[in-house]
């Protein structure tokens, strides 16, 4: 079964946050790249 200790829960939420922020950063960079490509034309 899963570890119910606060430390384990904290670690899990930390991993979740880094994953979502990485996805958000990727999306943002993709949008910036699209805008830059649009300006070049």
Kindly report the pTM of this predicted structure.
Answer: 0.46
Section 31-41 average pLDDT: 75
Measure the CA–CA gap between 24 and 30, rounded to whole angstroms: 10
Q: Calculate ∠ Cα 38-35-23, nearest 5°.
A: 140
Domain enclosing residue 1, as ranges: 1-41
Domain total of the chain: 1
* Terminal-to-terminal C-alpha distance of the chain: 56
Residue 12 pLDDT > 70, yes or no?
yes
Measure the CA–CA gap between 3 and 37, rounded to whole angstroms: 48
Residue 41: pLDDT band by 50, 70, 90 thresholds?
A: low
Residue 37 pLDDT > 80, yes or no?
no
């Amino acid at each position: 079964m899963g570890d119910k200790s606060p430390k384990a829960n904290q670690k899990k939420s930390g991993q979740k946050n880094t994953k979502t922020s990485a996805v958000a950063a990727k999306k943002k960079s993709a949008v910036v790249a699209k805008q830059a490509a649009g300006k070049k034309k």
